[in-house]
Amino acid sequence: MTAIDVKDLKVERSGKAVLHGIRFSVQVGEVFALLGGNGAGKSTTLLTLLGFLPVAAGSVSLNGISPSANVKKIRDQVAYLPEAATLYPHLNAYENLGYFLSLSKLKLSKAELDATLEKVDLQTDARSQKMETYSKGMRQKVSIALALLRDTPILLLDEPTSGLDPVAIDEFNRLVRSLAAEGRTILMVTHDVYGACQVADRIGLLRGGELVGLFGSNEGQKIDTQTVHKAFTERTGAKRAVS
């Protein structure tokens, strides 16, 4: 069953074409990674799915709903993890989570927040400190916790492992796989070839706003990192992929 369907999507920003008719779909319970270098159109794809950018041509739908038709319903069904882990520096982890969740009309107890923060491995003593004292990785953990706490069927993750240390990345990858096993659909964009190969069922390779390659299958076959790495460096023109 298709959860995310992108058909011949064209998007323009400031009158300039950024996506040139990309086409892919993500099945329910699947982890799909869009891999690409800077300016490939990864974040633009996510922002279009969230309804922040208009579709110039083609179509997108999430669980059969187009963002242009009902953006509110889309945002109710989707948890979005932004690249920069943008949370409020004057608030602590509990306050940040409480604020964002209350905007989604969710009221959770401190124990429930603690359970999720435990899941993302944020130190107990850090949780009551203002976010301005957090490292990038700690902020990322709170953002991930927020995405998890919203308990939505679809997760859109923008560079989710950026700023995390290798141990935290491994933990994050396990978390993503367990979420997929629960039936959640996950679309992540990244330039981390190794991480994408570790966690994704399928990988789409973006270059200059075009989808230039698709790797993997829905049958749980392991994606060959070397193949993707080679394709990434060749097809995206990157001299060195992150690994």
Partner 1 sequence: MSQIVTIAKEEWRYWLRSRLVKIGLIVFALLLILTSALTASRVSEIRHDREHQQEKAEQSFREQPDRHPHRMVHYGHYAFRAPTPLAQFDPGVDAVTGQSIFLEGHRQNSAMFAEARGNARAGGFGSLTPALIYQLFLPLLLIAIAHAAIVREREAKTLVPLMSQGVNGPALYLGKGLAILALIMGLSLPALFGSSLAITQGESALTALSLYGSYCLYLAIWGSLILTVSCLVRSRGIALGLMLLVWIFSALVVPRIAVTWASYSLPSEGKIITSMRMNEDLRKLGDGHNAADPAFAKFRSNILAQYDVDSVDELPVNFRGLVAQQSEAELTATLNKYSEKRMSRELEQSTRLDRFGMISPYVAIGTASRSLAGTDLSTHHRFLRETEDLRFNFIQDLNKVHIKKLSYADDMARNKDEEAGKRARVSSENWQILQDFRFQPDTASTRFNRAAASLLSLLIWLLVILFIGLFTSRKLQP
CA dihedral 119, 125, 131, 135 (to 10 degrees): -80
Candidates 25, 66, 68, 104: give the one binding partner 1 (CB under 8 A): 104
List CB contacts of 26: < 8 A, sequence separation 6 or more: 2, 3, 4, 32, 185, 186, 187, 202
Tokens 């429930």 found at = 112
When asked if residue 108 is in the footprint of partner 1 (CB under 8 A), the reply is: no
When asked if residue 16 is in the footprint of partner 1 (CB under 8 A), the reply is: no
In the bound state with partner 1, the residue whose beta carbon lies nearer, of 23 and 99, is 99
Site string for partner 1, 40-69 (x = CB under 8 A): -------x--x-xx----------------
Minimum gap (Å) between residue 233 Cβ and partner 1: 30
- The span of 17-25, 34-42, 72-80, 199-207 binding partner 1 (CB under 8 A) equals 72-80
When asked if residue 103 is in the footprint of partner 1 (CB under 8 A), the reply is: yes
User: Which is it for the CA torsion 179, 181, 185, 191, positive or negative?
Assistant: positive
Ranges within 208-237 binding partner 1 (CB under 8 A): none
Candidates 16, 72, 239, 240: give the one binding partner 1 (CB under 8 A): 72
Cβ–Cβ < 8 Å for 193, 35? yes
For residues 186 and 177, give the distance between their C-alpha atoms in angstroms, rounded to a whole number: 9
When asked if residue 105 is in the footprint of partner 1 (CB under 8 A), the reply is: yes
When asked if residue 12 is in the footprint of partner 1 (CB under 8 A), the reply is: no
Which segments of 14-49 are extended strands (E)? 16-27, 31-36
Ranges within 112-171 binding partner 1 (CB under 8 A): 143, 146, 150
CA dihedral 217, 223, 49, 17 (to 10 degrees): -110
Candidates 84, 151, 178, 243: give the one binding partner 1 (CB under 8 A): 84
For residues 224 and 173, give the distance between their C-alpha atoms in angstroms, rounded to a whole number: 17
In the bound state with partner 1, the residue whose beta carbon lies nearer, of 32 and 100, is 100
Q: Give 70's DSSP letter.
A: -
10 Å CB burial of residue 78 (0-12, 13-18, 19+) is buried
Candidates 24, 32, 100, 215: give the one binding partner 1 (CB under 8 A): 100
Residues making contact with partner 1 (CB under 8 A): 47, 50, 52-53, 71-72, 75-76, 78-80, 82, 84, 86-91, 95, 99-100, 102-105, 143, 146, 150
